[in-house]
Structure 1
C-alpha cells in the first residue's frame, strides 16, 4: 500500500508564511526560468545569517516560484534522490523528507513538500559542509574542532579525520577547515583557510594561506589560495570556489595549481553541478570593510562593481556565467546550494504550527 500524507490541504499551504517571498525582492536574468524548465530542475540554497532556506522553482505558468523557510543559522546542505534534504543549523543537522507520494501534486502546484522528520543534535560545532557517503552516513566538517566527523545517534559527533598540520582534535578553530568533497561516495578532499595550529591563526592568512588536502594521503594538493570553499569532484575534476578572489575554478592535481574559470563579482561559496553547468552561490560582505584586504575587494573597486547576493549559473564548456539570481532586501550570506533533479516547484515547512498539521503514514506490506 502506498504511503499517505494527512492532510494535503491547499488552504493550509496557501496560509503558510513560508511559500512566497513577501518582504524581499528577487530578480533573475532573462532566461533563468527557461533554464530551469529546460533542465527540469529546481534549486535550494541556504542563507546563513539570514536564517533562511530558499527553494527556487517554477509556477505552472513558467514564472519563478520561491519558498523561504526560517531555520536557525542555515549552513551546509545536501540532497539525496530529490526527496531528502540534510541541512546544518546552529546546533543540529535536520533531515527533511518529501511528504508527497511519488507523482503527487499538492493543490498549490507543489511537487515536493520538505517536512522536518528528524534531527541530530550536534552542539555548537560550527559545522560547514555536509554530505552523505556511500554507506549512507552523514559526514560533515566540524570547523570548531578542526576535523571531519560523522553524525551519531548517541554522541554529538564522531571524529573521522583531521588535517596533517593539526596536532590533535580540539577546540577552538585553528585553521578554519570548512569544505568537504566526496569521490565515489568516499571522503576525498577538504579545504581550509590556513595550515595554522594556533587559536584563530587562520585570521592572519585569509589572502593567501588557503589549502586543499587529499584526505586519503594527507598530502596538500594546492596551497596559496584565498579563503577556499566548497571543494567538489565532478567529471573527473576537482573544483573549488576561491572566495577571497571571487573566482570559481578547478585544481590541477599534478601541478598543484588553481585554474580560475570565471570571476563571480561576489564572495563565492556553495557549489553544485548539473550536466555541463555549475551553480555557485555569491554573497556581499558581512561588514563594510570585509573585502578591504582581499583581492576580491580590489577587483570590485577597480571595475566599479557591486557584489551579488544570490547565485550564478556557469556554462562549463564556454567558461562563462550565463544566468544569475539576485536576492535584494535580504540580510546574511549564501552558504550552500544544491540541485533538485526532476523537481518543478518545491516548498518546505519549518513553522511548528504548520509542521504539526502534516502527518505522513508509512504502511507495511502486510497491512
Structure 2
C-alpha cells in the first residue's frame, strides 16, 4: 500500500516512505464504523488521514506539519499541536466537493483558519472542552488554555510542581476531560527539578486526578494517553506495550491486553480503542531497556475490541515511519482531506457565509501570484 495524492512528497532512494500493510479486519472495522483516522508522526513531520475504501482497502493521505503531536476535534473543528504553534482548522463539506485537484472526491476538507503561536513549549495532548482548547504544556509542567494575549494561559499544575517554569520537570503528557474540563492526567515522574523524571523514567509514571490532586497510581511504565470511558480510565503503559484500565468507583487497576509496539496515542469509538504504535529509538540506551524493546515493536495502529479485550486489527508502516504520537478518530467521515499552513494551497480557498471560491494561480510559473480572472475562480454556493 502506498500514498494517494500527496500534497508534498518525500522520496528516499526512489521509494515511497509511507508504505504500509494492514490486516483485512482493520479496513473492515473502519468501513463498518464509517469513520476515518488522523495520525500524527512528529518523527517524519506528517499528519496522516486514513480512510476505508471498502472492506479490504485503505486510503492514506499525508500532509506536512512542523513536528505534529497532539490532535483534537470537536464538531467541525480540528486542532494540531506543532513545534511552536497550534494550528486550528475547520471542516467544510462544500470545499471538499469543489476541491479543484479532485472535485467530488472527498466528504470533508479541513482548512487552516488560524494559528496560535505558543513558542517551543512541547505541547502534548490537546482536547476541546469548556472555554475552547485545553493543552498539556509539557515543558512548563502544566495544563493551559489558549489566550490571544499569551503563549498559553496556565490553568493547573500538579501539587508537587512549585512554580510554572520551563524545565520539563515531570514530563506531564496525557490528559482526558470530564464534563468539558481536565480530569485525569499522566506523567512520567514525580519531580520538581528540570528533567527530574528521567531518573526513574521506566517505572516512575503516575496517573493523577486533576480535580483532587491525588496520585491514583504510581510505578507505571511510561504511561500515556488516558481516556475516560464511562467509569473507567483506559491508559497505556508504553514501555511495556500494554493497555490498562483503572476503574474509578472500585479504584481497581486491570491489564487489558498487550499491543505490538511502544503504545502512545489512543482514541475511543463504539467499543473500539485505536492505539498508536511506535518502534524503539535505536540511539537510546534507556529505551532499549524497555520490555517492549525485545518484542519486535511495530509502528502503526492497533485496534482493540473492548468486547473481547483483544487486538482485532493492525496497520503497520514498513519503512520510514517509526514513531507516532497521537491517533484520533473522525466518526462519520469516510474520505477526509486536510491542507496544511506550509504552502499556499490552503489560501486559495476563500470561504464566506454564502459562497466558497477556489482561486488558482494566474501564472503557474509564479506560485505566489494569487491574482485571478473570473475564469480561474471556482464559485460554490454555501449551504452548510
TM-score w.r.t. the length of structure 1 is: 0.88
Deviation at 1:324, TM superposition (A): 0.8
| CA distance 1:86–1:342, change in 2 (3 Å) | same
> Paired residue for 2:310?
320
Q: Which secondary structure does the structure 2 equivalent of 1:248 belong to?
A: strand
Matched, 1:31 2:11: no
Task: State the Cα RMSD in Å.
Answer: 2.4
Q: Give the whole-Å Cα distance in 2 for the aligned partners of 1:15 and 1:260.
A: 39
Deviation at 1:290, TM superposition (A): 4.5
Deviation at 1:210, TM superposition (A): 0.6
> Paired residue for 1:338?
328
Structure 1 residues 292-328: Cα deviation after superposition (integer angstroms, max 9, x where no partner): 322323xxx3xxx321101100010101000011112
Q: Give the whole-Å Cα distance in 1 for the aligned partners of 2:106 and 2:313.
A: 24
| CA distance 1:121–1:66, change in 2 (3 Å) | same
1:23-102 mapped onto 2 (5 Å cutoff): 23-59=17-53, 63-81=57-75, 83-101=76-94
Q: Which secondary structure does the structure 2 equivalent of 1:260 belong to?
A: strand
| CA distance 1:71–1:255, change in 2 (3 Å) | same
If asked which structure has higher relative contact order (CA below 8 Å, sep 6+), I would say 1
| CA distance 1:105–1:355, change in 2 (3 Å) | closer
Q: Give the whole-Å Cα distance in 2 for the aligned partners of 1:180 and 1:322.
A: 26
> Paired residue for 2:184?
189
Q: Give the whole-Å Cα distance in 1 for the aligned partners of 2:98 and 2:354.
A: 20
Q: Which of 214, 217, 224 in structure 1 is aligned with 2:219? A: 224
Q: Which secondary structure does the structure 1 equivalent of 2:66 belong to?
A: coil
1:91 touches 1:124 (CA, 8 Å); kept in 2? yes
| CA distance 1:267–1:360, change in 2 (3 Å) | same
User: 23-32 or 61-70: which moved more?
Assistant: 61-70
Q: Give the whole-Å Cα distance in 2 for the aligned partners of 1:46 and 1:27.
A: 18
| CA distance 1:138–1:295, change in 2 (3 Å) | same
Deviation at 1:100, TM superposition (A): 2.6
Deviation at 1:15, TM superposition (A): 7.9
Q: Give the whole-Å Cα distance in 1 for the aligned partners of 2:137 and 2:296.
A: 32
| CA distance 1:14–1:334, change in 2 (3 Å) | closer
> Paired residue for 1:5?
none
Matched, 1:306 2:296: yes
1:238 touches 1:250 (CA, 8 Å); kept in 2? yes
Q: Which of 193, 200, 203 in structure 2 is aligned with 1:198? A: 193
Q: Which of 101, 120, 127 in structure 2 is aligned with 1:124? A: 120
Q: Which of 287, 290, 300 in structure 2 is aligned with 1:294? A: 290
Matched, 1:110 2:127: no
Q: Give the whole-Å Cα distance in 1 for the aligned partners of 2:249 and 2:123.
A: 30
1:222 touches 1:257 (CA, 8 Å); kept in 2? no
Number of paired residues?
344
TM-score w.r.t. the length of structure 2 is: 0.84
Deviation at 1:185, TM superposition (A): 1.3
Q: Give the whole-Å Cα distance in 2 for the aligned partners of 1:212 and 1:14.
A: 41
Deviation at 1:228, TM superposition (A): 0.5
Q: Which secondary structure does the structure 2 equivalent of 1:292 belong to?
A: helix
